[in-house]
Structure 1
Amino acid sequence: MSRTTQAGGYRERLLAGAVACLQEKGYARTTARDLVAASGTNLASIGYHFGGKDALLHEAIAGCFEAWTRRVEEAIFSPAPGTPRELLERAMVALVDVFEELRPQLVVCVEGYPAALRESVLRERMAAMYARAREAGVGMIRRACAEMGVEPPVQPEVLVSVLIAVSDGLLLQWLLDPASTPDARQVVDALAALTMFAA
């Protein structure tokens, strides 16, 4: 058992154990006994804190999504936004150039997709996670535009959805073929080049 899963109360240990199991075994192959072994807790604690194994796994997946969103916001606003392009570059660095560093957590996020196709509760939970990520992204865009004294170039909700789609798509490519996946600067250059065709 890792030091991470030994630290904290039962709830925190169960969540850490769930993340470890999702990374090692995946969603479908993780059992309640796996979760107990990874967290150093007991079967009753899963029901007490989460209501069941699936709810615990859902919470672990949600936690990984939310942690990534917080990292993006911290990267964008520290230091304060400069030009719109600098802001976009910071956002893409926090969304794309972190794949290697965050690989274990991002694998957990990806593990949620196939399970969500078959489980309506997880599907609704992940849809809600995307809704929160979009809401947070819209708030970031409005805050940045206000600080720069400019208007958003397009509807913020649409812009955030497109940036999430770019990030998610690149993540899937990177997991399969890291060497062929562009980095954040290349992504920003490509997005800028696309505007030539839309002008």
Structure 2
Amino acid sequence: MARTEAGGYRERLLAGAMACLQEKGYARTTARDLVAASGTNLASIGYHFGSKEALLHEAIAGFFDQWIARVERSMFSTEPSSPREMLERAMTELVDVFEELRPQLVLYVESYPAALREAALREKLADSYARCREVGADMVRRAVAQLGVELPMAPEVIVSVLVAVSDGLLLQWLLDPDATPDARQVVDALAALSVLFA
């Protein structure tokens, strides 16, 4: 396992936790693994995070935050010409990145069974989804203001549906990548549904 040397202990522990989670998974990562990967010591886990589990939860939440920031950068890198272009940008960063993010996405999926039994992890993941809805809704508001359009519903609902689409496609992709639609096909499907049910 690669050892993380850069940064202070907290940052090194988080980087080490992410490395361990991707290599060993949530259930099999030990405190000693975290110390070896981060180049720190056992006491630093308790000092900075309180427990091994809290450190792992924080690392998983950090992945969520990085992914959200990536979507935001893509959406607002240049001014979009239409709502469809804005949606395509978002879906590209939510769907067409599966191969690149595969190790983190496997970890993300593996965290769900543990969250069903661990209240602290369940709460951390729920907080991550809440942050995703909040930040995503702000992105939608900014986008529609730039484009001069009005939303027919609360932006939080739109974001929740797009996240659900991304999560569902992620599960399909992990099992059968070749059968999973890409971002453009997703946007085309959503457009077709809007015509059918308008």
1:74 aligns with 73
TM-score, L = length of structure 2: 0.96
The equivalences for 1:142-157 within 5 A come to 142-157=141-156
Paired residue type of 2:47: Y
Q: Which moved more, 1:153-162 or 1:43-52?
A: 153-162
The equivalences for 1:168-179 within 5 A come to 168-179=167-178
Give the drift of 1:105. 2.1
1:7 aligns with 6
Q: Name the CA distance, whole Å, in 2 between partners of 1:57 and 1:93.
A: 28
Q: Name the CA distance, whole Å, in 2 between partners of 1:77 and 1:91.
A: 10
Give the drift of 1:71. 0.3
Q: Name the CA distance, whole Å, in 1 between partners of 2:145 and 2:64.
A: 26
* Alignment of 1:86 onto 2:80: no
1:126-168 Cα shifts (integer Å, max 9, x gaps): 1111001000011001111011111013321111000000001
1:24 aligns with 23
* Alignment of 1:132 onto 2:135: no
TM-score, L = length of structure 1: 0.96
Paired residue type of 1:125: K
Going from structure 1 to structure 2, the CA distance change for 1:153 and 1:81 (only over 3 Å counts) comes to: farther
Deviating above 3 A after TM superposition, structure 1's stretches of 4 or more consecutive aligned residues are none
Identity of aligned residues (%): 76
Q: Which moved more, 1:15-24 or 1:99-108?
A: 99-108
Q: Name the CA distance, whole Å, in 2 between partners of 1:82 and 1:55.
A: 43
RMSD of Structure 2 on Structure 1 (CA):
1.1
**Unmatched 5+ residue regions in structure 1?**
none
Aligned residues: 198
1:41-98 Cα shifts (integer Å, max 9, x gaps): 1111111111110000000000000000000000001111220110110010010011
Paired residue type of 2:59: A
**Unmatched 5+ residue regions in structure 2?**
none
